[in-house]
Amino acid sequence: MMKAYLYLLILFVLTFLFSCTMKKESVSIMLPKITLKDEQQEIFLQKKILIYEMISATKELHQISWPILKNNVDICKKNGSYSFGVLYASKEDLPSQDAKFYKKILNKNINAKYFTKYNVDSFPLVVSVAKNSPAFKANILEGDIILLINDTSTLGFRKKLKKFALESSKLKLTILRNQEVLEREVVGTNICNYNVQAIPSPAPNAFADGEKVFITLAAIKLARTKDELAFLIGHELAHNIFHYMYDKGSEAYNFAINYTDSPKIKSFSSFFLYSSQSKEIEADLKGVEIAFKGGYSLDNVNDYWRRLSVFNPEMISSSSFIYKSNALRAIMISKTLRKLKNSNEKK
């Protein structure tokens, strides 16, 4: 949405680097002794922070997006894949060089006997359960460890989950919770099958690639209310629903800790090729309807644009080839919302 912002940021970083290297006087420096172990410890710490940030952003997006995806099922393509309203972290989600961190961070309190008994080196972990979702009703809780899925091993977890969610609305989970092994049956429901994920980036932005919606960590941090994020999600979902043909989505591939997942290249380029001002206006207006239908009143939603304008003053009043100015977007959104609320009151 805000490409210009990214360029500004790159420019800023380059200028900063350049000005740092241009200082004339030479300073004698003593490099501190750094061992490989020091470095590895610090890398582990930073990866741990990254993984926890991804989980907390995923949770926030999941709580906001699940009711939106559920209440808009009538305008989405049907593919028969069920949603259980639960998101997981799994070792396979991390890039291979980080796989060794998974157990240390997210499986750390599990008794060694379970790894032997179930013949695996890690277990998937429940990171988010959407309120009032099937998993919520079946008493699945955040922090639950998945020992078995439909009585089978969790090896190849996501592939299995995708298959099971297509085959049946019923899913059996064997769970480890506080040293207790529990069995739960979850009865899935139909929702819009688009994954809404967090993506690391210092620029507040959001993307849709037909299959998923990505909201940057910067956008999540810039937003101050659920309504603001609900609108961003609504806008990107409008692109997926009305501007793309993809219909193979599955909750099984909603990643929480996979910080390398990004909009698909093919669709990403087509996004720029085919996005036009009329599509952006449509996404804004339909996005309002989608988020409103998801149960968000969207009061003060335009505060997001106003805050964003502080970072990009040129966007306050200038429209680009693709986007209307932030001022015009805010007015369009307000008026659409007012019309929507009026017609809802008349019903």
Contacts to Zn ion by CB under 5 A = 280, 283
Task: Return the bridge partners of 198, or none.
Answer: 215
Treating both helix axes as pointing N-terminal to C-terminal, what angle do 277-293 and 226-243 enclose, rounded to 10 degrees? 120
Q: Tell the residue number behind the tokens 């592939």, with chain if given.
A: 159
Please, what is the minimum distance in Å from the beta carbon of residue 288 to Zn ion? 13
The answer to whether 195 and 211 are in contact (CB under 8 A) is yes
Please, what is the minimum distance in Å from the beta carbon of residue 110 to Zn ion? 42
The answer to whether 337 and 231 are in contact (CB under 8 A) is no
Nearer to Zn ion among residue 134 and residue 204 (C-beta)? 204
Task: Give me the residue whose beta carbon is nearest to Zn ion.
Answer: 283
Please, what is the minimum distance in Å from the beta carbon of residue 185 to Zn ion? 40
Q: Cα(227)–Cα(291) distance, rounded to whole angstroms?
A: 8
Nearer to Zn ion among residue 52 and residue 242 (C-beta)? 242
Please, what is the minimum distance in Å from the beta carbon of residue 271 to Zn ion? 8
Please, what is the minimum distance in Å from the beta carbon of residue 75 to Zn ion? 17
Residue type for position 168? S
Nearer to Zn ion among residue 110 and residue 331 (C-beta)? 331
Closest CA to 122 of 74, 168, 167, 155: 155
Beta-strand runs (E) in 178-312: 180-187, 195-199, 206-208, 212-216
Nearer to Zn ion among residue 227 and residue 236 (C-beta)? 236
Nearer to Zn ion among residue 72 and residue 258 (C-beta)? 72
Q: Cα(27)–Cα(9) distance, rounded to whole angstroms?
A: 29
Please, what is the minimum distance in Å from the beta carbon of residue 177 to Zn ion? 41
Q: Cα(14)–Cα(337) distance, rounded to whole angstroms?
A: 41
> Distances in Å between the alpha carbon of 119 and those of 20, 172, 282, 331?
53, 19, 51, 58
Nearer to Zn ion among residue 126 and residue 232 (C-beta)? 232
